[in-house]
Structure 1
Amino acid sequence: MADISHWFSRLWTRRAVPYQDEDKIESSEALLEETKNDRPISLRKQDCKRVWWILTLLNVVFFGGAITLYSVAWLKYTERNACLRATSTYSPILEEVDMPLTDTLLNGSLWLGDNPPIWRGLPDSDEANDAWESFEHVRPIALTKDQIIAMGKDPATVAKFNNDYWGLGDDAYVGALDFFHQVHCLNVLRHESFRYYNRDGETVPKWNEIHWVHIQHCVGMMMEHLLCNADAGFLTYNWVEHEKYPFPDMSVRKQCRDWHQLVDYRDAHGVNESLYVKWVKPEGVNQLKQPQDWWKYRGQYDQAHYANGTTIDN
């Protein structure tokens, strides 16, 4: 009996000790787990806070960058003559003077009409000659060294206004607006085109009135285009040997359109020419009235446009 009691006592002790040990172990493990988790939780909080600051900083940077880019684009768009600057080479006038764009309908009619542009005036018209002559005053303008460089020119080759004569300081170079040079060239062609107008003689070509009407149209159209696209670019002047006065450097830098693209487009999209030259007005189409001047020159017009002598009556 004592042995059995001893055996049960040992058995109980063996079962009780492991039970107590497991309880302690669980308690210890829980305490250990809590101890182990205390540091990672703290670290995770720090990591989250660090990530939050990084994300916030990145958002601020990206947002600030977007605002900066938008502001730069807006300022670029709203700056003086923004559209002209985008399609022109550097010119100080685009920084100093507002040049608004105006929607203008050019007078492309072949005929003079009741109120023709002054640029179509014949060479015996004092009013027309005076209007053209007003563009012949290509007045030199003082430019700075920085402006010369911005134009793509070498200041070392550009004539300077000497200060002892002009009193403009030591940073004054000779320049002029190229626009007036362009009009001058057109005026020279205008005078040459009308060389034989209203003249007689054996060597004078026998041109009829419609010829001069055509010349007037071409000159007037070119002038209207020049005025419409008034160029703000500058010429510069050089001192050249055997020249007493500053000589204009008429080789100027421009922002040019690629006209080859227009040729390619025309060739790719143009209709069949052989069909076009045989094409005549179909019946029943909507017709515009001819200007009054056309009736005045109708005979000459038909003679010039229909080599076989045929005319269109309808």
Structure 2
Amino acid sequence: MSKVYHSLPLDEEKLDDDSTTFASTTRTLSIDSDSERAGFVPRVRHRLAQHWMWLGHAVLLTTSVTLFTLSFCARNAKPNDATYTSAYSSYSPAAVAVRYETTRFTNLTPVVEGPFVGFGPEVDLAWDYIANDIGDTMISEEELDKLGLPRNSLKITHPRTGEVGYRAALEVFHQLHCLNLVRQAVYKDYYKHHGGDVGGADSKEDLMGHVDHCIETLRTNLMCQSDIGIFTFKLFPEYGFADDDYWPDFNTLHTCRNFEAVRSWAVEHTVAWDHNV
């Protein structure tokens, strides 16, 4: 049998060619798409890695600046009175009354005058105000434990509230009492006739024992404080000293606790009034 060939219409040939071309193009696009996809993923990962790297640098920089600022502020900030007192003083319920102030001593010239100098009724009134017109206070058992003091200390009953606690006093007033006693002992010819701790002593031995106790109290506290303030030397021609006679200049700046604030706290918390200390 002989083979018969039929010619295809032109449109069918074109369609067949187009189909072949489309298939080839599709395969090419598929290959290109796979290639692009394969290249795109690493690029995205690289960009993400760069993004996180810069973000990490930014976080570290921000943290460093913040810590530096906080450190600078902490180093240069002035602590408040309560913080300073708590850090550098033993516990005291009166710490809430402490107010620090910078003041210049102005009456420490070679020759001094003032309400606390010498003897006499007016001088005694001035000393009574700072040393004697303040009673003792009362602390709780919890406060006693904070102070590390024994529980067999003297117990008292608060006259207004009826609470039971321990009798206590502030050191500053005992120290001023002691200084006042030494002052009276210096002017004993006057005070042996005018009462006070000197005139009220039962014997010379009792008086000297009290004075020795007070001198030791003041020595202990002065050495404990160890004032590191600086004084210089200058001429005082107004007192008739020689032109080359230099004297210490004690009129210097000091950071002090406001005495009136502490005294007011003590008066407000007074529960007992005798001064046998």
The TM-score bracket by the shorter chain reads: 0.3 to 0.5
Question: Larger RCO: Structure 1 or Structure 2 (Cα < 8 Å, ≥ 6 residues apart)?
Answer: 2
TM-score by length of 2: 0.47
